Amino acid sequence: MTGLKNYLKDPFLKSMYEEIREAGPIRSISVDITHKCNLRCQGCYFFAEGMERAGKNGDEATFDGFIARELERGTNFVTIVGGEPGLVPDRLRKLHANFRVNVASNGLIPIPLEGLESMPIGVAVWGDHATDAQLRGDGSQDYFSQAMSHYRDDPRAFWYYTVAPGCAHEIESVVGQCVALGQPVLFNYYSDIEERGGVLGYRQGFEQVRAEIDRMIEHYPEWIFTTRYFNDVVTSGRLFDQHWGYEVCTNLSNNYTENLDRLAHGAPGNPHFRAYNADFSSTRRCCTGTERDCASCFDTWEHFSWIMVHMRKHLGSQRDFTHWMTTMYVFYLVNRLVDFDEGMKRLPEIHSRLAAIA
């Protein structure tokens, strides 16, 4: 740990490190808060993998029992997905009252403020207006505009922008619109689970998307959560000697039979993690899959976890440690586990330091 001591002589790194330590370790799970959804986005992993059938809505008593069991197990952070969480605000309130949370929403059913004042909401957008309308619907409804009007002036919202490999040219316009609302952007990378190909196909690579995201970071350092390092790890699929996939994946349900051998004998993971279906008791392989080919997986949250559990790999140099520390910090910031307003002020320096060591 001598390296660590040296790295922490840098006051910027030290202050981030201390804030994270103060916030404490995360013991996370994900849960499908409902199996129902008002949309059928193209290639949505939830429906592509038949997860809506894997666990149908548990009733309220089952949901309450699930919360009690997870509290007992020591869970302190819940990523809320589905289905569409906006359909079940009372369940959101219950989770929010018991855990630190992050919710993903398609933005079309406004999530009420009451009882949910400090809940981070990742509002989905999949491209500029026409592309978003096409990918998340039949092209006739401008979902991006609807989500913008629902979350305008809502301090809980950030834009969770899923970009397909062939849609890099839209990034500037989408980000410009989010920033004009005074709201930050976290990028996600489209996973073409169903091999739809065309602009969605991952085999063409994310090179243009990566370059365009880097350009947005330079242009709007105060508003972009995604860092250059993170962007590089996801789009290259490389972390030191590891290549992204099931064998190194860190977000595998720890009680799912098919994972047990991998977890006992393979690369280290997140030992607490479970991805719960909407029956609130059964789990699946990982949050975004049951059977899918991991080659199509570019999910942002899973990649955060990959970097975060590998602190040791990042202790070889100040540069590597800066990569790890800033990734940790941004995760805590997006999820409001550290002071959000103070953290937002740090974003430009995070980006400028990463640019200097790129």
Ligand X SMILES: C[S@@+](CC[C@H](N)C(=O)[O-])C[C@H]1O[C@@H](n2cnc3c(N)ncnc32)[C@H](O)[C@@H]1O
Indicate whether 251 belongs to the interface with ligand SF4 (CB under 6 A).
Answer: yes
User: Can you tell me the distance from the alpha carbon of 118 to that of 318, in angstroms, rounded to the nearest whole number?
Assistant: 34
Residues numbered 333-352 forming contacts with ligand X, rule: CB under 6 A: none
Residue 284 φ/ψ, nearest 5 degrees:
-130, 180
| Residue 53 touches which member of ligand X, ligand SF4, none, C-beta under 5-8 Å by kind | none
Indicate whether 191 belongs to the interface with ligand X (CB under 6 A).
Answer: yes
Residues numbered 36-55 forming contacts with ligand X, rule: CB under 6 A: 37, 43-46
CB atoms within 10 A of CB 50: 10
| Residue 43 touches which member of ligand SF4, ligand X, none, C-beta under 5-8 Å by kind | ligand X
Contact 284, 290 (CB under 8 A): yes
Stretch binding ligand X (CB under 6 A), from 79-87, 89-97, 143-151, 241-249: 79-87
| Angle at alpha carbon of residue 128, lines to 127 and 131, rounded to 5° | 65
CB atoms within 10 A of CB 283: 23
Least distance CB 266 / ligand SF4 (angstroms): 12
Residues numbered 202-241 forming contacts with ligand X, rule: CB under 6 A: none
Stretch binding ligand SF4 (CB under 6 A), from 35-43, 70-78, 146-154, 206-214: 35-43
Residue 103 or 179: the one with the smaller Cβ distance to ligand SF4 is: 103
Render the burial of 149-160: b for 16+ CB within 10 Å, e for the rest: ebbeeeebbbbb
SS3 (DSSP) at 283: strand
Q: Where are the alpha helices (DSSP H) in 78-201?
A: 89-98, 129-136, 143-151, 171-180
Contact 85, 92 (CB under 8 A): yes
Indicate whether 37 belongs to the interface with ligand SF4 (CB under 6 A).
Answer: yes
Residue 8 or 39: the one with the smaller Cβ distance to ligand SF4 is: 39
| Residue 212 touches which member of ligand X, ligand SF4, none, C-beta under 5-8 Å by kind | none
User: Can you tell me the distance from the alpha carbon of 310 to that of 22, in angstroms, rounded to the nearest whole number?
Assistant: 20
| Residue 188 touches which member of ligand SF4, ligand X, none, C-beta under 5-8 Å by kind | ligand X
* Residue in the structure block whose two tokens are 């990982």: 286
Candidate residues 55, 82, 89, 289; the one interacting with ligand X per rule CB under 6 A: 82
Residue 35 or 351: the one with the smaller Cβ distance to ligand X is: 35
Residues numbered 71-110 forming contacts with ligand SF4, rule: CB under 6 A: 82-84, 106
Q: How is 1-37 classified by DSSP, letter by letter? A: -HHHHHHTTSHHHHHHHHHHHHH----EEEEES-S--
Closest CA to 184 of 207, 203, 212, 161: 161
Applying CB under 6 A, the residues found at the interface with ligand X are 37, 43-46, 81-82, 84, 104-106, 124, 160, 162, 188, 190-191, 193
Applying CB under 6 A, the residues found at the interface with ligand SF4 are 37, 39-41, 44, 46-47, 82-84, 106, 136, 245-246, 249, 251, 285-286, 288-289, 292, 294, 297, 299, 302
